Amino acid sequence: MDAFLSIFGPGFFGMVVIPLLIFLARVLDVSLGTIRIIFISKGMKYVAPMIGFFEILIWLMAISQIMANLTNIFNYLAYAGGFATGTFLGIIIESKIAMGYLSMIVVTKKEPTELIENMESSSFETTTIRAKGKRDEVGMVFAVVKRKKMRSVLNIIKEFDPDAFYSIEDIKDMRHIHMPIKKQHLIEHALTGMHRKKAK
């Protein structure tokens, strides 16, 4: 440390090194906070507190440097910049993790048969009802899909009916998940083959 200070001087350490460490600490603890919130929303009650422990520990390290150097404006800028960067990075992390399932309702004035066939051919199971809109009858299509697959579903909907109304909600808990259609067919086919072998 003495050799470092002799080369760059104490001013460099206070104006560059400490603000940089504060910035990185804030980026890390805000990103961890985003992940913690995701895990809480998914009911992961054991993992979320562990992440919260490290999140607050890193935050305390950053704020202690701020309190020890109240006259250094660069520390304030680093703290605020780290928070903003951590928030942006947290949004990216959330989109990459994409955990859990989403509930989707699609309302279309067109006959939804083609939409149902397109979704089910892509392994998305649906439930459909007829409903009465303000003026005409509409088709309502319900589906539960993985967050990672949502973009594919939206492409199918927009290709079928660009004017279709849809709403998407996050699901915290489900009682039962239907098996994807393609996997179900494969298992049924395998079971049929086993029964045939036994019959022979």
Question: Which strands sit side by side in the sheet containing 126-132, from one edge to the other?
Answer: 126-132, 137-146, 101-108, 165-171
Residues 157 and 91 in one domain: no
pLDDT at 186: 43
Residues 89 and 145 in one domain: no
For residue range 171-196, list pLDDT tens digits in order: 877 666 554 544 444 444 444 444 44
CA-CA distances (angstroms) from residue 183 to 12, 120, 124, 187, 191? 61, 12, 11, 6, 12
pLDDT at 54: 93
Residues 105 and 177 in one domain: yes
**Domain span including residue 28:** 2-97
For the chain, which ranges sit under pLDDT 50? 1, 4-5, 179, 181-200
For residue range 28-46, list pLDDT tens digits in order: 999 999 889 888 877 788 8
User: Cα(first)–Cα(last) distance of the chain, in Å?
Assistant: 82
Residues 37 and 119 in one domain: no
Q: Is residue 175 part of a domain?
A: yes
pLDDT at 81: 95
Select from 79, 104, 106 the least CA-distant residue to 22: 79
Tell whether pTM > 0.75: no
pLDDT at 6: 53
Strand partners, 107: 140, 165
Q: Is residue 65 part of a domain?
A: yes
